[in-house]
Structure 1
Amino acid sequence: MWPYFDPEYENLSQRMNPPRVCIDNTTCSDCTLVKVDSVNKPGILLEVVQVLSDLDLFISKAYITSDGRWFMDVFHVTDQQGKKITNKTIEYIEKALGPESNILGTKGHFWPGKSVGMHSIGDHTAIELIGTDRPGLLSEIFAVLANLHCNIIAAEVWTHNMRVACVLYVNDETTFQAVDDPSRLSKMEEKLRNVLRGRGDDVRGARTSFSIGTTHVDRRLHQLMLADKDYEIGGSLTEGNEVISFRPVITIDHCEEKGYSVVNIKCKDRPKLLFDIVCTLTDMQFVVFHASVSSDGPYGVQELYIRHKDGFTLDSKEEKEMVIKCLEAAILRRVSEGFSLELCGRDRVGLLSDVTRVLREYGLTVTRADVTTIGEQAMNVFYVRDASGNPVDMKTIEALRREIGHTVMLNVKRVPSSANAPQPSRWTGSGFSFSFGGLLGRFWS
C-alpha cells in the first residue's frame, strides 16, 4: 500500500497566496508603477514582462527579485506616447497578472498569449520560415502565398546578420478557414522552400514548418534566430553594407558573496528591450534572480543576477562569450535604421505581394515587418533601407508615396539613427549592489 497524496496539495501555497498586482498612477508624475507580488515559479518573470511588452508599454525602470519562494517586481512604465497608462490598459494588466490570471498555471487561460498584436486573428495556419536574407525575398514569399490563394492575416518578419525569420498567419481566401489539407500544405512547403533557397548556394539551409494554433510570435522569432545561430554569422555588426553605428556593451562578472553571475548591459534604450533580454536568457536555460533596470539618457542600463537552471554560474570564458554574443544578437534583432512605412487600408488577397513588389522595384529592402489585420482593415508596418546599403534618397520615398498612396493610407517616418557607441562600462562586479531593504521599501511604499 502506498500513502495517499492529495494532488491539490502542491498548489495549496499558490491558492492561499494568489498573485497580487498593484497599479500606482499617483506616486510618480511621469509614469505608472506596476507592482507584482506572487509565489515564485520557473519562467514567471518572462510571463510578466511579456504581458507588458504585448501592451507596447515602455519600461523606464524596474526592480526585480525572485530568490526563494517569492517573486516581487516593480516596473515604471509609460505608453507609446510617454504618458501614464489608462484605465483600459490597467484592466488588461490586472486580469493578466492578478488573482484571476493564469501566471501560476492553476487556472484556465485568460491571457491567450500574443499571436500578433492584441487582437484575435481568427482561424489560421501558422507558417514559420528561416533562411538567408536577400533583397526582394519578402515580396517573393508573399507572391507565392497569394498564388496559392492564401490570405495573410498577420505576420512578423525579422532580419539579422543576413538571416531572415518569419512567422506568418494565413487562411484560405475563400473559406477563411485554416489551411489543413496535407497536399496543399506540401505544395506550399515546397514552393516556400524553393524561394528561401534562392540561388541554391545557401550553406546554412532554409526551413519551413506549419502549426495550427497560436504562438507568442516575438518569443518564437527569438527562438528561431537563436537555433539558427544568427549570432555567429559574419563576425561584425552590419545591416546590408552599412556598419551599425553602435554596439551594446555587455560584461559578465562573478558575485562571490551570493554565488551569482552578474550580467551588465548598456545599449541604446528602446521598447521591448527587457523582454528580448529575459526571453533569450530563459531560452538559454538561465534564471534571473534579481535585476535592476534603468534608462541613462538615450541608453538602457541593466544589471541581472543569474544562474543556470541547474544552479551553476558562468565560470568559463567560452560560456561567457557565448552568452554575450547571444544577448547582443537578441538586442540587435529589433534595431532598424532607415524609414518605417505605415500602411493602412482595406485588406485583400495579394495586397502584401503588391506593396512589397513596389518596394523592391524602388530598390528598397525590408529589414522588419509587422502585419496585422483587424476585421477588414490591414495595418502594416515595414522598416526599409536601400538595398545597396546607401542612404535612402528622399526622391525615392516621395515617388513611393505617390505610387502606393493611391491604394492605401501611407505614413512615412524616418527611423532615428543609432547613437554613438556607449563607452566601455566601469562596472567591476566586485560586490552585490542590491539593497533588499531599499528594494522592498520602494516596492510597497
Structure 2
Amino acid sequence: MKKVCWPYFDPDFHNLPERIYGPVCRVSLDNETLEDCTLVKVDSVNKQGLLLEVIQVLTDMNLTITKCFISSDAEWFMDVFHVKDENGNKLTDQNAINYIQQAIGTTTGPPDSTRANAYASNIFESENHSEHTTIEMTGTDRPGLFSEISAALADLQCNIVEAHAWTHNARLACVAQISDQSTDATIEDPHRLATIEDHLITILRATTSVSPCGKEANNQEVKTTGFLGGDYQGTMTNVERRLHQLMLSIRDFDGPNLRPASSPRTPFAWDAEEECRKTAVWIESCKEKGYSMVSLECKDRPRLMFDTVCTLTDMQYVIFHASTHCHEGYAFQEYFIRHVDGDVLCTESEKERVIKCLEAAIERRVCEGIRLELRADDRMGLLSDITRVLRENGLAVVRADVATQGEKSINAFYVRDISGNEVVPDMDFVESMKRELMGPSHINLQVKNEKHLRSPSSTEKSRYFSNIGDILKSQIGRFSFAKIK
C-alpha cells in the first residue's frame, strides 16, 4: 500500500503571534493587593467601544466599581477596576471569576449562555427573547401613560413577557417583549404588527405637549419601532443601553427641568449638611495633549459608570484616559476624550450638549422615593390590572421593570403622586402595608424607600397608602377570578 505523506505543521505555530506580541487580551483578577476589594486588570488591543463592553460585563454581574484607571493610547487598552460584589465584599467565587475572564477575553468568543445566566444574573432575568417580539416606544410622558400602554397591549391579545420603561423630563422610553396570547410565540403577521403599532402611536400621540419655549409641540418625536426578536441577547445592560439611546433620540436632555451648564468646582468641596449634592459636569480643554477633559461629580449609585460611558460612546466620543473614585457616598469621574474623527470639543454649543446629555444620563435612572416590588402568579393582563389599580389611586409610574420567571411575574415600579410629587411614608407605615398584603398567597408586595424616611402627614397616609394593600388584594384577586370564569 502506497504511503501517504502529509506536510508537517508545527503544533505551536498558531501560538506564534501571541509569543511574539503577547496575548491579544489578558484578564486577571487580584484578591491579594487590597483588603476590601478585587482588582480586575485588563490588557488588550484597543477598539472602539471596548471600555463599554468591559463595564457591561461587570455591571451584568451586579458588581460595584469603586475606582478605576483607564489608558488606551498607542492602540493598547490597559484598565484596572476596583470592584465589590452586591454585599460589598471581594469577589471570591471561582466560577464567577472564570466567567469574567472568559466574557472579557476578546479571543475566547462569547461566553457560554448557561454560565452567563448563572453568573451574570439579575433580579429581572430575561426569558428567551428570540421567541418574543420586541417593541420600542418613545413619546411625551403623562400620568397613567404606562398603564394605558399595558391596557392596550392586553386588549390586542398580547402577553407582556418583559417590559422596561424610563421617564425623564416629560419624556418616556419603553422597551417591551411581547408574545401572542394564544400561541405564546413571537408575532410575525405584518398586518397584526401594523395594527399594534397604529394603536400604540394613537395612545402616545394623545398628549398635547408644550415645548420649553411655550409653543405647542407637534409630537413628531413619538415613534414605535423594533418589532424584532432577539436583539437584546438576554442581558439587562443591553436593554438599558437601548433606553439611553431612545431617551437621547427624543432629547430628554433638552427641557425645562435641567439646569444650565455646570461650572467647574473643587473636587469633593461639599457641605456636610447638604442633603443631596446636585450633579455637576464641566469640560476643560487640554490643548497640549489634544484632549477634552470631561469631569463630573454626583451622588454615587450602582451602574453610574455604565450610564456615563454608554452616553459618551453612543455620542461617538472615544475615551482615551479616565479615572473614577468614590468618597463618602459621592462619585468623581474624569474622562479624556476626542470625537471618533479625532477632533476635540471646540465650540461652546458642543460642550453644552455633552454636559446636558451626561446630566440626563445620570439623572434619568434616579427615582428617589417609593419603589413597589410585586410578585404574583403570571397571567394575561396582570400588568394592565396592576398599573390600573395604581393609577386609580392617584399613583403615577415613573419607572418600571417587569419580567417573567417561570409561572411568576416580577414587577418593580417607582411611583409618585399624580402631580409628580414624591410620596414618602415612614417605616412603621411601610411595615403595616407589608402585613396587609401577606393575605393572598399568590401576591407578595414589598414597599421600599429609596430615600431617607420621614413621618408623613395623616393626609398623605389616607390619600396614598392607607387602603392600597386591601385594594390590590381585592381588585387583583377579583380580576384573576373574573378571567378564570
TM-score, normalisation: structure 2: 0.76
Distance apart, 1:376 and its partner CA: 2.0
Distance apart, 1:204 and its partner CA: 3.1
What secondary structure, in the 3-state scheme, does the structure 2 residue paired with 1:230 have?
coil
After superposition, residues 207-226 of structure 1 pair within 5 angstroms as 207-209=223-225, 210-215=227-232, 216-226=238-248
* Structure with higher RCO (Cα < 8 A, 6+ apart): 1
Moved more, 62-71 or 406-415: 406-415
1:203 corresponds, among 212, 218, 227, to: 218
Q: Deviations over 1:346-387 (max 9, x none)?
A: 221111111111111121111111112122222221111122
2:103 corresponds, among 87, 96, 100, to: 96
Distance apart, 1:100 and its partner CA: 5.1
Q: Which residue of 1 aligns with 2:31?
A: 25
Gaps of 5+ in 2: 1-13, 210-216, 233-237, 260-274, 454-485
Q: Deviations over 1:296-334 (max 9, x none)?
A: 111110011111111111122111111101111111110
Q: Which residue of 1 aligns with 2:179?
A: 171
The answer to whether the 8 A contact 2:161-2:179 is kept is yes
Distance apart, 1:176 and its partner CA: 1.8
2:418 corresponds, among 361, 383, 387, to: 387
Residue 121 in 1 paired to residue 152 in 2? no
Q: Deviations over 1:385-407 (max 9, x none)?
A: 12223442649976698469734
Measure the CA separation in 1 of the matches of 2:99 and 2:28: 12
Residue 250 in 1 paired to residue 258 in 2? no
Measure the CA separation in 1 of the matches of 2:151 and 2:415: 19
Distance apart, 1:82 and its partner CA: 1.7
Q: Which residue of 2 aligns with 1:63?
A: 69
The answer to whether the 8 A contact 1:102-1:108 is kept is no
Q: Deviations over 1:145-186 (max 9, x none)?
A: 111121111111111000000000111122221111111111
Q: Which residue of 1 aligns with 2:41?
A: 35
The answer to whether the 8 A contact 1:267-1:299 is kept is yes
Q: Deviations over 1:165-219 (max 9, x none)?
A: 0000111122221111111111111111111112455533311112222232111
Q: Which residue of 2 aligns with 1:291?
A: 322
The answer to whether the 8 A contact 2:396-2:420 is kept is no
Q: Deviations over 1:244-301 (max 9, x none)?
A: 9653111111113311110110001111111111111111110000100000111110
Q: Which residue of 2 aligns with 1:160?
A: 168
After superposition, residues 331-410 of structure 1 pair within 5 angstroms as 331-392=362-423, 394=425, 402=436, 406=440, 407-410=442-445
Q: Which residue of 2 aligns with 1:279?
A: 310
Aligned-residue Cα RMSD (Å) equals 3.0
The answer to whether the 8 A contact 1:55-1:118 is kept is no
Q: Which residue of 2 aligns with 1:321?
A: 352
Aligned residue type for 1:97: I
What secondary structure, in the 3-state scheme, does the structure 2 residue paired with 1:251 have?
strand
Measure the CA separation in 1 of the matches of 2:152 and 2:337: 44
Aligned residue type for 2:218: V
What secondary structure, in the 3-state scheme, does the structure 1 residue paired with 2:73 have?
coil
Q: Which residue of 2 aligns with 1:311?
A: 342
Measure the CA separation in 2 of the matches of 1:156 and 1:174: 23
What secondary structure, in the 3-state scheme, does the structure 1 residue paired with 2:24 have?
coil
Distance apart, 1:30 and its partner CA: 1.9
1:194 corresponds, among 191, 202, 205, to: 202
CA 1:111–1:204 in structure 2 vs 1: closer, same or farther (change >3 Å)?
farther
Measure the CA separation in 1 of the matches of 2:123 and 2:318: 27
Aligned residue type for 1:91: N
CA 1:56–1:355 in structure 2 vs 1: closer, same or farther (change >3 Å)?
same
2:52 corresponds, among 21, 46, 50, to: 46
CA 1:28–1:16 in structure 2 vs 1: closer, same or farther (change >3 Å)?
closer
Equivalent pairs counted in the alignment come to: 400
Residue 411 in 1 paired to residue 446 in 2? yes
What secondary structure, in the 3-state scheme, does the structure 1 residue paired with 2:39 have?
strand
The answer to whether the 8 A contact 1:130-1:163 is kept is yes
The answer to whether the 8 A contact 2:62-2:122 is kept is no
What secondary structure, in the 3-state scheme, does the structure 1 residue paired with 2:135 have?
strand
CA 1:403–1:218 in structure 2 vs 1: closer, same or farther (change >3 Å)?
same
Aligned residue type for 1:65: S
Measure the CA separation in 1 of the matches of 2:306 and 2:62: 11
Gaps of 5+ in 1: 1-8, 238-243, 419-445
Measure the CA separation in 2 of the matches of 1:261 and 1:50: 24
CA 1:199–1:332 in structure 2 vs 1: closer, same or farther (change >3 Å)?
closer
Distance apart, 1:115 and its partner CA: 11
What secondary structure, in the 3-state scheme, does the structure 1 residue paired with 2:253 have?
helix
Q: Which residue of 2 aligns with 1:424?
A: none
The answer to whether the 8 A contact 1:31-1:84 is kept is yes
After superposition, residues 219-234 of structure 1 pair within 5 angstroms as 219-234=241-256
The answer to whether the 8 A contact 2:83-2:90 is kept is yes
